[in-house]
Every structure is written in structure tokens, then in C-alpha cells.
Amino acid sequence: ALEARLRVAIRQALSPRHVPDTMHQVAAIPRTLSGKKMELPVKKLLMGTPPEQVFKLDAMANAACVPWFLDFAAKRAAAHAG
């Protein structure tokens, strides 16, 4: 029900093309020490870039959230491979 409401809200506020194909609930979004969201590193990880090339853990405010994204990326890659 929440996902449906989010889809409607995004469609109405922006446009149908902004509605994502899938949505996933996460405990935390990776952020830099200055508080910026690390969207590009997450995207690179999901596209197959090795995590050590993507995340600089000492430059993160919440490095503890990284294992969830590593697990998600691995599961996603396995699902697309087979």
C-alpha cells in the first residue's frame, strides 16, 4: 500500500517517467562526512564496480550501512546472471 501511494505521489508531483521500476526500503542511505548522499557510488556498485573502488569508508558518515548495499548488489547480480 505504501509503495502504491509513493508511485501515485511521484507520478503526480513529477511525471510518469520519474516513477521507478522497483523500490526498496533501506535502513540508511550512504552519506559523506559532510552529509551528501552517495548516489553515484551506489549506482556504480549496482552496475558491477568492485566495492573497494566505490566506497571510501573513512570518508563516510555512516559506513555501517555499506554491508546491506554489498549484499543487495550481490543478490541483484546473481538474479540477473541466471
In the chain, the amino acid numbered 75 is: K
Q: Quick one: pLDDT band at residue 80, thresholds 50, 70, 90?
A: confident
pLDDT for 81: 83
Per-residue pLDDT tens over the stretch 38-79? 999 999 999 999 999 999 999 999 999 999 999 999 999 999
Average pLDDT in the 19-25 region? 94
Q: What does the CA dihedral 25, 79, 69, 51 come to, rounded to 10 degrees?
A: -160
SS (H, E, C) the chain: CHHHHHHHHHHHHCCHHHCCCCCCCCCCCCEECCCCECHHHHHHHHCCCCHHHHCCHHHECCHHHHHHHHHHHHHHHHHHHC
Model-level pTM greater than 0.85? no
